[in-house]
Amino acid sequence: MKLLEGKTAIITGGSRGIGKGIVEVFAKHGANVAFTYNSSSEAANALADELSETGIKAKAYKSDASNYEQSQDLASEVLKDFGSIDILINNAGITKDNLLMRISEEDFDKVIEVNLKSVFNMTKAVQRTMLKQRKGSIINMSSVVGVKGNAGQTNYAASKAGIIGFTKSVALELGSRDIRCNAIAPGFIETEMTGKLDEATVQSWREAIPLKRGGSPEDIANACVFLGSDLSSYITGQVMNVDGGMLT
């Protein structure tokens, strides 16, 4: 019996990077995966087709996680297509880095909307289904930056710290219905988001990490498997740092 067999997971931002890693690893562990993208329709549909051939159900949906209506519609469609929603992973996220002196109001608002409001939108959208099922696991992608702060990322850090407060509150509200809610705080994970940075900077970051490497999408996906599966059935309201020891 695979760890996630028979469970349906919604994963936002599954077309690239960490989200794609989660989609692939979840499928490997037997989950049926419904995942979203914002603009990468070709990559998302190719991934869904590839995974469907492995015997699980996989489908890509174009849905803007920062849009309330689209999030409600997505949850209804997934329920219709898959029959249940057992795990929600709020992974979609963006950066628009700048020093406070230079950051625009627009860039502050955009990051809060895509990273934080999306978590509210999607959690609201699946809540009714999980309440009826009297079971569910919600996993929110925060960041070490949300735990510690980071110069040049006031908007991003605020969104990721906000996710932690939201996660703990949902855990307190919904625990009595066996709906668990946890956050993951990845450290430096090497994806397209970090591929924009120069190699010398990236190397200095790797050297500063106790495990001496950047993380991979699979490292985060494996933590999601644990939090999504019944192995973690007594864990809620927690923030799990998956950072190679960066914050230690």
Ligand X SMILES: NC(=O)c1ccc[n+]([C@@H]2O[C@H](COP(=O)([O-])OP(=O)(O)OC[C@H]3O[C@@H](n4cnc5c(N)ncnc54)[C@H](OP(=O)(O)O)[C@@H]3O)[C@@H](O)[C@H]2O)c1
Using the rule CB under 6 A, which residue among 191, 232, 236, 241 binds ligand X?
191
User: At closest approach, how far in Å is the CB of 8 from ligand X?
Assistant: 18
Q: Is 61 part of the annotated catalytic residue set? A: no
Q: Is 179 in the site for ligand X (CB under 6 A)?
A: no
Q: For residue 155, what are its two tokens?
A: 């908007």
Strand ranges for the chain from DSSP E? 8-11, 32-37, 58-62, 87-90, 136-141, 179-186, 239-242
Amino acid at 106: E
State yes or no: 83 annotated in a binding site.
no
Q: Are strands 8-11 and 32-37 parallel, antiparallel or unpaired?
A: parallel
Rounded CA gap, 198 and 211, in Å?
21
User: At closest approach, how far in Å is the CB of 124 from ligand X?
Assistant: 15
Instruction: Give the H/E segment covering residue 21.
Output: helix 17-28
Could you say which residues in the range 157-176 bind ligand X, by CB under 6 A? none
Question: Among 88-96, 127-135, 164-172, 221-229, which window interacts with ligand X (CB under 6 A)?
Answer: 88-96
Q: Is 139 in the site for ligand X (CB under 6 A)?
A: no
Question: Among 14-22, 52-60, 167-175, 231-239, which window interacts with ligand X (CB under 6 A)?
Answer: 14-22
Contact assessment for residue 66 and residue 113, using Cβ atoms and an 8 Å cutoff: yes
Q: Is 38 in the site for ligand X (CB under 6 A)?
A: yes
Using the rule CB under 6 A, which residue among 4, 24, 34, 36 binds ligand X?
36
First to last CA, the chain: 36
Contact assessment for residue 244 and residue 210, using Cβ atoms and an 8 Å cutoff: yes
Residues 6+ away with beta carbon under 8 Å from 136: 85, 86, 87, 88, 126, 129, 130, 174, 178, 179, 180
* CA 162 from centre of chain: 14
User: At closest approach, how far in Å is the CB of 177 from ligand X?
Assistant: 26
Q: Is 141 in the site for ligand X (CB under 6 A)?
A: yes
User: At closest approach, how far in Å is the CB of 132 from ligand X?
Assistant: 25
Q: Is 186 in the site for ligand X (CB under 6 A)?
A: yes
State yes or no: 68 annotated in a binding site.
no
Q: Is 39 in the site for ligand X (CB under 6 A)?
A: yes
Cβ-based nearer residue to ligand X, 78 or 92: 92
Q: Which residues participate in the annotated binding site for NADP(+)?
A: 13-16, 91, 156-160, 189
Q: Which residues participate in the annotated binding site?
A: 13-16, 91, 156-160, 189
